[in-house]
């Protein structure tokens, strides 16, 4: 069996690593770059290019260059996040016939998982070139707050990329593993992970090689992209005012300003002020050409993005509350994700947690290193397998009941793998089938949560209401992926489903009725 790799599949950048002779090796491409932009560009008639080459195309052909596909993966068309992405993206985002989300580039359609598969193939090839042998197994990381649909779609992407996915691992957990592996540490750590597209906070207890996640919380639509769009919105207003031309609906202009905003942000992480220049930003129909020019200092930038920074702390407080801990009980705060290079983030984290964050880990590589350690653990069990990881499920799982309520079966922050069974009974006389709709989220109302999947249990004995009971078992595996089973008590009929990553369209258009209430 060859080497199993760890891949950090990021919104903005990806990184690949493996353990060789007990040491993590982060693989670089031929130019020596240790991370790759998670960007897939489609050329005219040619196959897709990925990574740094694709990034170059972003400026002159944004409409055929797919960025931030991770923000779409496993999401349903019509969701708030998808609508936001549609408004921001230069490439097309559409809905397929079954309601599934698709990316449209040069007349061709791709699922977000297919785009991510391109990135994974690219990372796999970089590892293979460095190792000089084929790679078939990987641990792939996801934000801790990803729901089942997003995890399943990431797993599908790995399969499409020709990789056996050994484990879907939460990014903050991977970071903690890399930080504490073989260090003999005994402490409580908070992993503050602000990447390109998502924010996660996990609180862990490390005891030597035992890693236990106590609580996790996150926002899958809060990351560096949002900082860039916030600054790009300011640039847009400045440009429209100074040029007298309204280009607020021009996607190419918006994309170029986003690029400029990102460059300004990175420059401001080391300098006090930056001059932003975008030559020939816009050409009007009558041939007039406009450049964009402005100066931004750290103070102004901070005012634009402070609401976003504050949102991360609201999420941190939520996780601390769930862990029943105060900031003072946290021994170390680890910073993960490219955005944590920005001084405002570091200073704000220090203020919130009353201690300087730990900066010994490389925020761009630590997640891939943790993934590689876990890949090594899982493929070297006979050698003791290294560390023990206990993770939790980030969101509550439940089913829809009459009245549109969501009845929780597994509460958030329960250690995984886990299983829970509850017994339901029929709500109507002679009811012969029931629909089981599975949701993830914290709201009492099912519709406010994420629909993971639905299935119908048919052929129930036609009995008076309440006499047919159905046992519903939910299992969450080590990858955080949900499996559901239902068995009726009269006929012993069983229907098992693995909830597939799906569009939210009912699996079967059925007249099946919902459940009435619950027996424990």
Which amino acids are annotated catalytic?
Answer: 8, 70, 171, 193
Identity of the residue, 224 or 504, whose beta carbon is nearer to ligand AMP in the bound complex: 224
For 267-313, what is the HEC assignment? HHCCCCEEEEEEEEEEECCCCCEEEEEEEEEHHHHHHHHHHHHHHHH
Identity of the residue, 36 or 111, whose beta carbon is nearer to ligand AMP in the bound complex: 36
Which 3 state secondary structure label does DSSP give 323? helix
The Cα–Cα gap between 462 and 329 comes to 57
**Closest approach of ligand AMP to the CB of residue 16, in Å:** 13
Query: Shortest distance, CB of residue 322 to ligand AMP, whole angstroms?
Result: 24
Structure tokens at 72: 């779409």
Least separation in angstroms between CB 159 and ligand AMP: 23
Select 12 or 395, whichever has its Cβ closest to ligand AMP: 12
Give CA–CA dist 194/175, Å, rounded.
12
For 141-289, where are the alpha helices, taking DSSP H only?
Answer: 148-160, 171-180, 224-243, 251-268
Q: Distance (Å, rounded) from C-alpha 168 to C-alpha 120?
A: 14
End-to-end alpha carbon distance in the chain: 47
Distance CA 65, CA 472 (A): 44
Q: Which is nearer to ligand AMP, 264 or 470 (CB)?
A: 264
Looking at the Cβ atoms of 148 and 364, the one nearer to ligand AMP is 364
- Closest contact distance (angstroms) between CB of 83 and ligand AMP is 21
- Distance of alpha carbon 417 from alpha carbon 335, whole angstroms: 27
- Distance of CA 281 to CAs 239, 254, 284, Å? 9, 10, 10
- Residues in contact with ligand AMP by CB under 6 A are 10-13, 195-196, 224, 262, 265-266, 269, 337-339, 341-342, 364
Q: What angle do CA 7, 267, 86 make, to 5 degrees?
A: 60
Which residue's Cβ lies closest to ligand AMP?
A: 224
Q: How far is the CB of 392 from ligand AMP (least distance, A)?
A: 22
């Amino acid at each position: 069996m060859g080497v199993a790799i760890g891949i950090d599949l990021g919104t903005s950048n990806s990184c690949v690593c493996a353990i060789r002779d007990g040491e993590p090796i982060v693989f670089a491409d031929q130019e020596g770059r240790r991370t790759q932009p998670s960007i897939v560009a489609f050329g005219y008639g040619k196959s897709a290019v990925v990574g740094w080459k694709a990034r170059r195309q972003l400026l002159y052909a944004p409409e055929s260059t797919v960025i931030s596909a991770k923000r779409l993966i496993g999401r349903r068309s019509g969701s708030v996040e998808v609508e936001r992405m549609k408004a921001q993206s230069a490439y097309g985002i559409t809905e397929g016939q079954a309601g599934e989300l698709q990316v449209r580039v040069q007349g061709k359609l791709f699922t977000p998982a297919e785009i991510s598969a391109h990135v994974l193939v690219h990372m796999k090839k970089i590892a293979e070139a460095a190792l000089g042998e084929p790679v078939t197994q990987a641990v792939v990381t996801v934000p801790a707050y990803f729901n089942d649909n997003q995890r399943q779609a990431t797993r599908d992407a790995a399969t499409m990329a020709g990789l056996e996915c050994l484990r879907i691992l939460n990014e903050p957990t991977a970071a903690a593993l890399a930080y504490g592996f073989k260090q003999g540490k005994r402490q409580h750590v908070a992993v503050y992970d602000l990447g390109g597209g998502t924010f996660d906070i996990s609180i862990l207890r490390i005891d030597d090689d035992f890693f236990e996640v106590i609580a996790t919380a996150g926002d899958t639509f809060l990351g560096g992209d949002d900082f860039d769009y916030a600054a790009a919105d300011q640039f847009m207003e400045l440009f429209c005012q100074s040029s007298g031309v309204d280009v607020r609906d021009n996607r190419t202009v918006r994309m170029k300003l986003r690029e400029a905003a990102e460059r300004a942000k990175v420059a401001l992480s080391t300098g006090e002020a930056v001059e932003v220049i975008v030559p020939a930003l816009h050409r009007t129909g009558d041939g007039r050409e406009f450049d964009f020019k402005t100066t931004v200092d750290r103070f102004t930038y901070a005012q634009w993005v402070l609401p976003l920074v504050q949102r991360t702390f609201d999420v941190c407080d939520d996780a601390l509350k769930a862990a029943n801990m105060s900031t003072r009980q946290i021994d170390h705060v680890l910073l993960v994700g490219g955005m944590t290079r920005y001084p405002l983030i570091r200073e704000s984290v220090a203020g919130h947690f009353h201690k300087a964050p730990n900066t010994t880990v490389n925020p761009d590589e630590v997640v891939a290193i943790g993934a590689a350690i876990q890949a090594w653990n899982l493929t070297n069990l006979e050698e003791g397998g290294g560390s023990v990881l206990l993770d939790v499920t980030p969101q509550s799982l439940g089913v829809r009941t009459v009245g549109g309520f969501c009845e929780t079966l597994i509460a958030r922050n329960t250690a995984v793998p886990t299983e829970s069974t509850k017994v339901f009974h029929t709500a109507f006389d002679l009811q012969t089938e029931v629909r089981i709709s599975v949701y993830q989220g914290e709201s009492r109302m099912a519709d406010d949560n994420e629909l993971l999947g639905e299935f119908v249990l048919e052929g129930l004995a036609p009995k008076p209401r309440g006499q047919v009971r159905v046992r519903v078992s939910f299992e969450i595996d080590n990858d955080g992926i949900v499996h559901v089973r239902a068995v009726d008590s009269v006929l012993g009929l069983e229907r098992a489903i693995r909830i597939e990553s799906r569009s939210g369209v009912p699996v079967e258009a059925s007249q099946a009725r919902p459940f009435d209430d619950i027996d424990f």
